């Protein structure tokens, strides 16, 4: 009996997660099962995004099941393409992930359609492929094992965004069982709304993310203070505070924190715009699944506070409403997508206000290589936005501690929990530098066999 792991996206890069697990239990029925974990979009530079157009390195018709760790586009973005290209098996995820995926795919199609028109390119999927995708989707609960033949599957809370999960796969052959865990993206506790990641102590094989595998985060408690200061500075200078926010989780966490700052009187009441239809819709999903929140957040909600509503906050859903933000005199706060400033409404605000020395751009999440957000974070003084050269005079700040991913210490602790049973660790979903650094750390400090696979690498393991 054997399993074979192939890394077909998110290998020495953050985005495009796509891992294939083939398993043959050696039983009489003897068929090799093919399972996919995530089928995400490559995001970042143009060259990177070109990969979304390439055919899959397997025949989608041969895949039996797809497990989806969470609703971010770099984990779900190519699922409709998979379906379009022949996948007809079942898709499993938690309920929030299913809802987020539908939102993200619809939104992404809108962006892809505009791009395809502009560049005269073929679309990687169409509207009907999303509908077909959703018809294959089945929601599962955390911590309830289900069986697909001789494969047991459990989704565990990953604490990264609402509904995010690690996929724990138990492969049994006769009396033997091997546990392989795909972490998806892990959370960075403590966070305002979510529970910490589930603690896994008996994995035999680990496929672990490494977004921040070579860095340490600043103190988590600093982040609320930084938000508060950024708002106060914007008020003092009568500037605009722009926050490119990922629509899912970052935005809701920011709202949650700002809600507290406003209601406790720590910041003055100023206009705060959530200028992202996707984030507004995602916030509805948060309201729908409060049962997934941590105890503290549940307590606040049960005490009657609407954490996504406070004086000064306005949701601007339509383009007209969005345009009217321009007429509101600063100081003001604008939160808008996309989180890495690749498309979305934020770039219109950046185009308008980045040249204003009184304004602030606050980066609250990971910025992929090649993205506008990354270039601004790296200190570029002149950037081209929507065809116009903009000189950057606004203050650029990052709150790394706001990251939804653990740093090297968090990742290390996660691996260490399973050190007694681990046979091999596969380090994925990080840029080469980060993935390789963390791989070396695991080898050197824990004495566990570890590798950072390159795109297309396969490992056949007898079990
Ligand atoms: Zn993610």
DSSP-derived secondary structure letter, 28: T
In the chain, the number of structural domains is: 2
The alpha-helical segments, DSSP class H, found in 38-173 are 46-50, 73-76, 79-84, 95-119, 127-135
The reported pLDDT for the residue numbered 90 is 98
Contact predicate 48/54, CB 8 Å: no
DSSP-derived secondary structure letter, 183: -
Q: How far is the CA of 185 from the centre of ligand 1 (A)?
A: 5
CATH assignment of the domain containing 207: 3.60.15.10
CATH assignment of the domain containing 261: 3.40.50.10890
Q: Which of 365, 384, 402 is the last residue of a domain?
A: 402
pLDDT per residue as tens digits for the range 229-260 = 999 999 999 999 999 988 899 899 999 999 99
Q: Are residues 369 and 423 in the same domain?
A: no
Q: Are residues 261 and 187 in the same domain?
A: no
Q: How far is the CA of 343 from the centre of ligand 1 (A)?
A: 18
Q: Are residues 15 and 69 in the same domain?
A: yes
Which two three-digit tokens encode residue 121?
């390119």
263 C-beta neighbours (distance < 10 Å), count: 12
Q: How far is the CA of 391 from the centre of ligand 1 (A)?
A: 31
Q: Are residues 49 and 97 in the same domain?
A: yes
Location of structure tokens 């606050």: 362
Q: Which of 383, 402, 421 is the last residue of a domain?
A: 402
Q: How far is the CA of 366 from the centre of ligand 1 (A)?
A: 10
Please check the confidence at residue 399 and state whether its pLDDT lies above 70: yes
Please check the confidence at residue 140 and state whether its pLDDT lies above 70: yes
Q: Are residues 178 and 302 in the same domain?
A: no
DSSP-derived secondary structure letter, 32: P
Q: How far is the CA of 196 from the centre of ligand 1 (A)?
A: 15
Q: How far is the CA of 275 from the centre of ligand 1 (A)?
A: 21
Q: Are residues 383 and 450 in the same domain?
A: no
Q: Are residues 252 and 397 in the same domain?
A: yes
Mean pLDDT, residues 458-462 taken together: 94
Q: Are residues 355 and 447 in the same domain?
A: no
Which strands sit side by side in the sheet containing 19-24, from one edge to the other?
137-139, 90-93, 65-67, 33-37, 19-24, 2-7, 458-462
For the whole model, what pTM was predicted? Answer: 0.91
- Grouping H, G, I as helix, E, B as strand and the rest as coil, residue 265 is coil
Q: Are residues 205 and 234 in the same domain?
A: no
The reported pLDDT for the residue numbered 86 is 98
In which domain, by residue range, is 233 found? 222-402
Q: Are residues 148 and 273 in the same domain?
A: no
Location of structure tokens 């009396």: 175
The CA-atom distances, in angstroms, between 112 and each of 40, 83, 139 are: 14, 17, 27
pLDDT per residue as tens digits for the range 410-438 = 999 999 999 999 999 999 999 999 999 99
Q: Which residues have a Cβ under 8 Å from the Cβ of 7 and sit 6 or more positions away?
A: 18, 19, 20, 426, 428, 453, 454, 455, 456, 457, 458
Cis ω before 338 (30° cut-off from 0): yes
């Amino acid at each position: 009996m054997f399993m074979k792991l192939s890394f077909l996206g998110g290998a020495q890069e953050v985005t495009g997660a796509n891992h294939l697990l083939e398993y043959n239990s050696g039983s009489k029925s003897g068929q090799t099962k093919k399972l996919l974990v995530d089928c995400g979009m490559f995001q970042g530079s143009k060259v990177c995004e070109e990969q979304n157009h390439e055919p899959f390195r397997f025949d989608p018709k041969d895949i039996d099941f797809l497990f989806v760790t969470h609703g971010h586009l770099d984990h779900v973005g190519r699922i409709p393409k998979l379906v379009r290209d022949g996948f007809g098996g079942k898709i499993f995820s938690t309920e929030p992930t299913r809802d987020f995926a539908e939102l993200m795919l619809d939104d992404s199609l809108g962006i892809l359609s505009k791009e395809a028109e502009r560049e005269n390119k073929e679309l990687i999927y169409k509207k009907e492929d999303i509908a077909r995708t959703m018809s294959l989707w089945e929601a599962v609960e955390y911590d309830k094992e289900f069986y697909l033949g001789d494969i047991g599957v459990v989704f565990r809370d990953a604490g990264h965004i609402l509904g995010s999960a690690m996929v724990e796969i138990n492969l049994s052959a006769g009396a033997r069982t091997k546990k392989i865990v795909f972490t998806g993206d892990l959370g960075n506790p403590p966070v305002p709304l979510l529970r910490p990641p589930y603690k896994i102590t008996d994995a035999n094989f680990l496929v672990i993310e490494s977004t921040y595998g070579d860095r340490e985060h600043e103190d988590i408690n600093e982040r609320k203070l930084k938000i508060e200061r950024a708002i106060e500075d914007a008020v003092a200078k009568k500037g605009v505070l722009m926050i490119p926010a990922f629509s899912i989780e970052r935005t809701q966490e920011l709202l949650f924190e700002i809600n507290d700052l406003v209601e406790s009187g720590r910041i003055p009441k100023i206009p705060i715009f959530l200028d992202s239809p996707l984030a507004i819709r995602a916030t509805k999903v948060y309201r729908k699944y409060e049962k997934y929140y941590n105890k503290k957040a549940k307590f606040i909600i049960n005490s009657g506070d609407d954490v996504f509503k406070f004086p000064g906050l306005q949701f601007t859903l339509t383009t007209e409403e969005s345009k009217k933000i321009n007429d509101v005199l600063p100081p003001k706060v604008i939160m808008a997508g996309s989180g890495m400033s690749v498309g979305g409404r934020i770039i219109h605000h950046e185009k308008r206000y980045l040249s204003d020395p009184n304004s602030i751009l606050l980066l609250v999440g990971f910025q992929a290589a090649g993205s506008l957000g990354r270039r601004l974070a790296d200190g570029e003084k002149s950037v081209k936005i929507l065809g116009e050269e903009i000189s950057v005079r606004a203050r650029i700040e990052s709150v790394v501690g706001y990251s939804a991913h653990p740093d090297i210490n968090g990742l290390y602790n996660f691996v260490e929990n399973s050190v007694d049973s681990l046979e091999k660790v596969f380090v994925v979903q990080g840029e080469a530098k980060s993935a390789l650094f963390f791989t070396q750390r695991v080898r050197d400090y824990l004495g566990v066999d570890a590798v950072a696979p390159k795109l297309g690498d396969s490992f056949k393991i007898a079990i």
